[in-house]
Structures are given as structure tokens and as C-alpha cells.
């Protein structure tokens, strides 16, 4: 953890330390779980007026908030670095992503939430006008992780707010400070009180689940399972983005320089603490040596450290360093070779050097368990079929990447991979695709996150409204009609039901 301590004089106050330097990043007041029902009640009350504003009214508020975030970007990024030990380059990615998502939804809320007309299923139902409405849920609980304190909190909150919901945000107890600034900004643009914070750990998360009408959770698969189990007690719907072990496939016709640099950035960005990090690479044997040499050359140019002038910073805490080192040492003990890194450096801070591992296989933890650290295991394969089989040999299915100069070939490979998104000749870029949803398969989650109309509609309930186009034949099958009229209606309905296409039927 970002070493969290509770002060001795005030029991509900914590001190957050920078994991890179040990310096104090700030203070946080933890929320009493007993207070969360009252917080939710306030959100539920404020949500009614927020919904009544309609898409255009909410878009105006979100526009003011976007301007505030842009104006306070330096302040937010400085706090991000202090709270997480990120490099300045990594911290600089978060606010722009949130602004991209805001921009998309500000322009598209009205279209996303417009009632949809549905065609009649048969001539018999042509007398009815069918519409589907999207009605916001009152309170959306968002339980966010620590790796991107701004982006992971707001990318879902924006969609919920755009839909007309109120949001109860529970940031990670490891990185609670940035959320306070985000809430301050919401209040400073005179937005209604439909965004609130719940600060704390497990008991606070449980309380948020208990009072919410929908839960968005981002985190580990193990914790996601617990969240879903608790939400099931009240039949509360959930969307879960969980762990990943994202594969990259490098074909023999790939642009090796591009693929190597993509692998290094995809694996080391944010010290590997990204849900869609490149965590394992399968390279066709014809270009394996060339690829490995290019990767090592690129890694040797990286600088590690917090703040300005570095490529990536510290891991979030000692426990994450321990996981990373355990995976590396397990691989080395089983016959792998570390071409770079491989051992934690001496000195202060929770840093781990960029580590390239070769001679790896699926008996090693680095190829099967989520590392969430700056490692890059590379495995030689003899065919694309083998690469696809190994890529799919995982409990996870978040995203993947395929590198080949033949784009159609790469697309054909992509649709054989069992995951929620595949990037062709790139990595992580699906996160920037605000028009498309993001979601994982298998143990990587259920449902989708931000992106597209789905990123707003997921927070809504669907309501079908059926309106008569005419009074002709109204109530034809009601009890008060004659038996002869009921018989005619039954005959007509049977005729319609039997008018299904017969082609191919046996």
C-alpha cells in the first residue's frame, strides 16, 4: 500500500506517504461505514433534480467540469505523483483521457438516451407504437483501484452522471487524496450534490455495495468475486473489470522495431501497473532473436524514478514489489534468463527495474498469474496456431495485441483470441476508443466499462412503453367480448404465429 498510517490523535484520519520517497503526500479523513446510508440518501434525493435537467442540462454541467479539470491539470498531476510515485510522463496521461471521455459524452448524451422506436413483430402488433426508454438508476457505487486514481475513478463516473445517476465514489484507500480534488472541482462548478466520496477500505466498500443501485468495480478477480457475491444479496447489478494477463503475438512479417517498442511501452508504462499491460509475448521463431535484441536495446534506454525526466516510477507499495519479484525469481528458478533487471535495486522507494525474461514457458508464474509490475516475458513459438493456443491458455481475457504487416491476417488472428479487445500493430490503444465499450472475458470480468452508448446505458434501466396507434380492435381478446370475437382473435393470432419461415425446416 501507499504506506497508510492512522495518526494517534485523531482515530479516523490517515497519513498517505509517497511510495517513491516516503515523504508525506497528505491527510485523509476516513468515512465511518455507519454514515454511508445517510450519504446515499442525500445522493438519492439530489438525483431526482439531476435527472429532470435532461441530457442537455447535464451536458452543460459536465462541460463546466471539463474546463475545471483542464484548468487544474497541473495541480492534479502533482498530487498524483506525490500519492503514487508515478513518473511525470505517466501522471500526464490521466486527465487527458478523462477529458476525451467527457467530450464524447457531452456531445452524445442526448443521442445515447433518446427513446428508441421498435418495429412491430407481426402485422397483428402493427396497431401498437413501441418505444424503449432509458431511465437512470438513482445511486451508482463506483469502487475504484489505485493504479490510475483519476482515470479509473472518473471514466465510469462520467457515464453514470451523464445518464442522470448520482455517484458514490469509493477510491482506493491507497490513493484517496486525488479523489478529494476531483470532488472539490465538481462542487466549484456549482454542480448539484450528486457526487460524493466514501473513503476507506473493506468495510466502507461493503457499505457502498449495500446502499447502491448499481456497482462498478475495478480491481482483482478475487475481490471482484466478493463484490458480486455481496451485491447478489440485494440483486444489485454489477459491472466488473478485473485482472488481466494480456498477450502479444508477433508474427514473422511484423515490423520488428515497432513491435519491440510497443512491447516495452506496453509492459513498462505506469511501472506495469495497468490492467491492459503487455504481460506476455509470443514471437514466431523466425524473428525471435531480432525481436529480443530490439526489446533489450529499448529497455536499456529507460530511466526509472518518480516525477520529471523518468519513463516510469515506483510500484504502489511493498506488497506489489513482492509479487513482481516472486514472479521473476520463480521464472529464474525454473530456467528462465533475465536479460535486464531481475533483482530489486538497493535504496529507498518501491522500485523494480524493467525486467526482460526469456526461455519462459507456462510452468512459470510470470506467464500465468497477473504480475502488475515492469516485467516482459518473451516466449518463442513455432506457429501462429501455437501462439493463439498459448494466448488463450489463461483464466484471463481482457485485451491482447497482434503485430503483422498483413492487417487482414492480423484481424483473422485477433478474432481467434478470447478477450474483450485486440489492438492491431499497437498496444493499449483501445483505452482511447471512446466510441467503443471496454470489457473483459473469463476471469477478467463481466459487463463493459466506458465507451460508446453502452457506457451511459449500462447505468440505466430499460422501460418499454406501448401506445395504441388506433382504437380499432382495441380489447379484442378481453373477457367482455363475445366468444365469437375471442375465437376470431385466437384464429388470427394462431395464423400469425404459424407464419414463420419454413425454409430449411424438416
Catalytic residues: 241, 275
Residue 198 near residue 210, CB atoms below 8 Å:
no
CA distance 217 to 263: 28
- Its sign, for the CA torsion 266, 267, 270, 273, is positive
| Those residues with Cβ within 8 angstroms of residue 244's Cβ, 6 or more apart along the chain or in another chain | 275, 276, 277, 279, 370, 396, 398, 399, 440, 444
By CB atoms closer than 10 A (0-12, 13-18, 19+), residue 121 is: exposed
Task: Using alpha carbons, select from 307, 303, 243 the residue that is nearest to residue 277.
Answer: 243
Give me the torsion for CA of 276, 281, 287, 289, rounded to 10°. 120
CA distance 379 to 279: 11
Count other Cβ atoms within 10 Å, centred on residue 469: 10
What is the DSSP pairing of strand 278-284 with strand 246-250?
parallel
Strand, coil or helix: what is 313?
Answer: coil
The length of the chain is 506
Buried-state track 46-82, b at ≥16 Cβ within 10 A, e below 16: bbeebbeeebeebbebbeebbebbeebbeebbebbbb
* Residue spans of alpha helices (H) in 92-165: 94-113, 151-163
DSSP codes of every residue in 387-402: HHHHHHSSSEESEEEE
Task: Using alpha carbons, select from 341, 387, 338, 391 the residue that is nearest to residue 360.
Answer: 338
Amino acid at each position: 500500500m501507499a504506506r497508510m498510517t492512522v495518526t494517534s490523535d485523531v482515530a479516523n484520519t490517515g497519513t498517505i506517504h509517497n511510495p517513491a520517497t516516503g515523504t508525506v503526500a497528505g491527510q485523509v479523513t476516513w468515512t465511518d461505514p455507519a454514515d454511508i446510508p445517510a450519504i446515499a440518501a442525500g445522493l438519492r434525493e439530489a438525483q431526482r433534480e439531476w435527472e429532470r435537467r435532461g441530457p442537455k442540462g447535464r451536458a452543460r454541467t459536465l462541460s463546466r467540469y471539463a474546463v475545471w479539470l483542464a484548468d487544474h491539470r497541473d495541480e492534479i498531476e502533482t498530487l498524483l505523483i506525490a500519492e503514487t510515485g508515478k513518473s511525470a510522463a505517466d501522471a500526464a496521461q490521466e486527465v487527458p483521457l478523462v477529458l476525451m471521455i467527457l467530450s464524447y459524452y457531452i456531445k452524445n448524451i442526448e443521442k445515447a438516451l433518446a427513446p428508441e422506436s421498435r418495429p412491430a413483430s407481426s402485422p397483428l402488433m402493427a396497431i401498437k407504437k413501441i418505444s424503449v426508454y432509458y431511465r437512470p438508476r438513482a445511486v451508482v457505487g463506483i469502487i475504484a483501484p489505485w493504479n490510475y486514481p483519476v482515470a479509473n475513478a472518473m471514466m465510469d463516473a462520467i457515464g453514470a452522471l451523464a445518464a442522470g445517476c448520482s455517484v458514490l465514489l469509493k477510491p482506493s484507500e491507497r490513493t484517496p487524496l486525488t479523489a478529494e480534488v476531483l470532488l472539490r472541482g465538481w462542487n466549484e462548478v456549482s454542480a448539484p450534490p450528486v457526487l460524493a466520496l466514501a473513503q476507506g477500505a473493506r468495510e466502507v466498500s461493503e457499505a457502498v455495495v449495500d446502499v447502491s443501485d448499481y456497482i462498478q468495480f475495478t480491481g482483482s478477480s478475487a475481490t471482484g468475486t466478493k463484490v458480486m457475491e455481496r451485491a447478489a444479496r440485494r440483486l444489485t447489478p454489477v459491472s466488473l473489470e478485473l485482472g488481466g494477463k494480456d498477450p502479444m503475438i508477433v508474427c514473422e512479417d511484423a515490423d520488428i522495431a515497432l513491435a519491440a517498442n510497443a512491447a516495452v511501452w506496453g509492459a513498462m508504462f505506469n511501472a506495469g501497473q495497468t490492467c491492459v499491460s503487455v504481460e506476455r509475448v509470443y514471437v514466431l521463431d523466425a524473428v525471435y532473436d531480432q525481436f529480443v535484441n530490439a526489446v533489450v536495446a529499448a529497455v536499456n534506454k529507460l530511466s526509472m524514478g518518480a516525477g520529471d525526466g523518468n519513463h516510469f516510477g515506483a510500484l504502489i507499495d511493498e506488497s506489489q514489489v513482492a509479487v513482481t519479484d516472486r514472479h521473476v525469481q520463480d521464472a529464474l528458478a525454473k530456467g528462465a534468463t533475465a536479460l535486464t533487471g531481475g533483482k530489486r535495486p538497493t535504496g529507498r522507494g518501491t522500485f523494480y527495474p524493467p525486467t526482460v525474461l526469456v526461455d519462459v514457458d507456462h510452468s512459470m508464474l510470470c506467464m500465468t498469474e497477473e504480475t502488475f509490475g515492469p516485467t516482459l516475458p518473451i516466449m518463442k513459438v513455432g506457429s501462429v496456431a501455437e501462439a493463439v493456443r498459448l494466448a488463450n491458455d489463461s483464466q484471463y481475457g481482457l485485451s491482447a495485441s497482434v503485430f503483422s504487416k498483413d492487417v487482414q491476417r492480423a484481424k483473422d488472428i485477433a478474432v481467434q483470441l478470447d478477450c474483450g479487445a485486440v489492438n492491431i500493430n499497437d498496444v493499449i490503444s483501445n483505452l482511447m476508443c471512446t466510441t467503443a465499450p471496454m470489457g473483459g472475458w473469463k476471469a477478467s470480468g463481466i459487463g463493459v466499462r466506458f465507451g460508446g452508448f453502452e457506457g451511459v446505458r449500462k447505468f440505466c434501466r430499460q422501460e418499454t412503453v406501448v401506445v395504441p396507434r388506433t382504437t380499432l380492435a382495441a380489447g379484442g381478446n378481453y373477457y367482455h367480448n363475445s366468444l365469437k370475437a375471442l375465437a376470431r382473435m385466437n384464429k388470427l393470432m394462431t395464423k400469425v404465429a404459424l407464419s414463420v419461415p419454413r425454409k430449411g425446416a424438416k
